[in-house]
Every structure is written in C-alpha cells, then in structure tokens.
Amino acid sequence: MAGSEERAPTVHEALLYERLRAGKVRCLTCERRCVIEPGQRGFCRTRENRDGRLYTLVYGDISSLSANPIEKKPFFHFWPGSVALTAGTWSCNFTCPWCQNWEISKFEPDPRRAHYISPERFVSMARTHGCQGTSVSFNEPTLLFEWSLDVFRLAKREGLYNNYVSNGYMTDLALRELARAGMDAIKFDMKGGPGAYERYCRARVDVVWRNVRLAKELGLHVEVVTLVIPGVNDDEESIRWIARNVLENAGEDTPLHFTRYYPAYRFNAPPTPVKTLEWAHKLAKEEGLNFVYIGNVPGHPLENTYCPDCGQLLIERYGFSIVRYEITADKRCPRCGREIPIVGERVARPPGFLGLL
C-alpha cells in the first residue's frame, strides 16, 4: 500500500479470508467466495488483494446516513415506532437491474475520497439524535462487515439494538459473527425464484434461504420482503414458493412483506398494480403465514397488523407512522388474548418526524 490510501482509515485488513498459493486470497465474507489475484478486487469491488492479504476498502466509508423509522426497513414486528441511525457504503455483491439505490450500489469505493465515520462516532451520533438502535442498509450491509461488528459491540454497551437490511448472501461464518457481535434482527430481501436469482442477481437463492434458517436458529428477529416486479416474480408459482419457504425456514409467525416496485436504474417495467400485491397477500395467507403485509402503498389496510385468530386491528399504520397501537403490555391481542410476536417495546416518535439528521 502506498500514498494516501496507505493512511486511509477506511482501508482495514479483512477478517474473513484465506491465503492461497501464488499470492491469491479467497474472501469468506459473502457466498461468492471470490478468489482474488494480487492487485485485484473481488466481485463487490470493496475488497482488494494487496501483497497476498485481503483488505476491505470501505471500513466506515459512509455514503448515506439518516435516522430512519424502523418501519422504513421495513420491520413491523421489531421495536415498533423506534428510530435507527442508518448507514450504508458503496457497491454491491448483486447485479439487480431495478436497484432503488443504484446511485451508491453501482459505484465502487475510492479510499482517497472516503467519508469516514468511526464506530465510536456513529454510536455517539445515534445517542445524540435519540435513536433506539443502529441499522446498516441502503446498499448491501455485508460489505460493511468489519465496521458493523465494531459498531454493534459498542451499540450493545450503550443499550441500542442493531439490525441489517440485507440480500442475505453473506457466508454462514459471517452471519454467525454478526450475531455474536450483537446483531438483533435482519431483514432479508427475497428477489424471487431460482431463475430470477440466476438471471438478474447472478446468485443462488438457496444460500439466502439457508441464511434465513440460520438467522432464526441464532435467535435473530427475521422479516422477509419481496419487491414484486412485473414479469420477474409476480406469478403465482413464485409468490407461493416464497411464502412456503418463509413458512418452512422461518415459521408461520415470520412477517412477509410484498412491496410495490417502481421503475429504477435499468429496469422499465411498469409499477406493480396494487391488485397484484393484494393477490400476493391472499396467496401467502393461503400458504399458512399469519402476518403478511403490502408496502409502498401508504394508507392501505394491509399495511396494518391484525390478530390471526380473531381479526382484531392491532397496529394501524400510515406509511412509516403508527396511527394506533392496541397490543397489550404483555404482547397479546386485547380481544382474544392471542400472543403477538413483537420484539421490543413500542416507542412513541415525535409528531412530524421525517427520518433525517
């Protein structure tokens, strides 16, 4: 390493890799497990082989930062009404052509132009701005793996929760390390069936389901979200397949969200009809899931939480805001007493909160 990059605080030796012959290294952070030649970067463009050692170039290189309502992730069964200080970096390990955050996910990092925020400063900012937790999001959070571990450990000491908003393509070793460091919850973006993953993401969907299952085994709170895209994953086979896999790998009480797609980046299919989302909701309920939602349709009744047993309205939402909260202190339906799986306590956000710093 030479010049300004050698002193850049965002350049750290990676934690998960193995050294191979002829100066090559194998990255063990995401399931691509890239074998990287000296002087080259891996698929995600954030990890570089320097003289036979693997370095992350994005330790604390923050491209995006805001205090977000937890419902924006979306997490609907995790600390309702709370706010998480949320950070992201550059690039991605997927190739989705519809990416909503393409301005950061389609650009590789440059340590000479990094915007560095230390874990200590980030956690201090979370406390200063009245946040209840931290979140790594916007682009794929696994690329901030080493920084996340340090943030999560510090945040736990300060009484904050931690979560990832992820495509779920980390190695099982990385997921275990995140849980050990203090990650409490993870939202998995489920892109569709095997064909959609191979065609659009250049990835394997079985890896994501493995990690959904492992996250539950590790005691993490899990929610699954599918951006329903016309012509990609809006057919009955795909919707039922996703719902069945949530049921089998995470359980009937795991929230599943179907969110509305809008054209972005290099994908120009028309916006998802609301009727398609309502139909997907119906199919997922038929498959046996208790908590199914639709998103990106503010004010729709299927944004709300209802008791699976008696149908009582329990949480009424409008966009990212909670309008009404009727779950009892011991997390039960006030009408029939059914236990409702909510992690954490309801937090009352200040009126007019916009989710900005």
Helix (H, G, I), strand (E, B) or coil at 216: helix
In angstroms, the CA 348 to CA 103 distance is 33
**How remote is the C-alpha of 273 from its chain's centroid?**
24
Distance CA 78, CA 189 (A): 17
Strand 321-325 relative to strand 313-318: parallel, antiparallel, unpaired? Answer: antiparallel
Rounded Cα gap, residues 133 and 164, in angstroms: 11
CA–CA dist 96, 147 (Å, integer): 25
Judged on CB neighbours under 10 Å (0-12, 13-18, 19+), 298 is exposed
Task: Tell me what pLDDT residue 354 has.
Answer: 62
Residue 92 tokens read as 């991605």
Q: For residue 199, give the DSSP letter.
A: I
Residue 349 has what pLDDT?
79
State the Cα–Cα distance between residues 337 and 318, nearest whole angstrom: 25
CB atoms within 10 A of CB 276: 19
pLDDT at 355: 64
Average pLDDT, 10 consecutive residues per value, the chain (357 residues): 62 98 98 98 98 98 97 98 98 97 96 97 97 98 98 98 98 98 98 97 98 98 98 98 98 98 96 98 98 97 98 96 96 98 92 63
Q: Look up residue 5 and give its two tokens.
A: 């990059």
The CA distance from 325 to 317, in Å, is 9
Complete DSSP assignment for 290-308: S-EEEESSTT-GGGSEE-T
- Closest by CA to 284, choosing from 316, 330, 253, 327, is 253
Rounded Cα distance between 318 and 316, Å, is 7
CA atoms of 292 and 206, how far apart (whole Å): 22
Write down the pLDDT at residue 305.
98
DSSP state of 200: I
Domains of the chain and any CATH numbers:
3-56 (no CATH), 64-325 (3.20.20.70)
CA distance linking residue 212 with residue 240, whole number of Å: 17
Instruction: Specify the pTM.
Output: 0.96
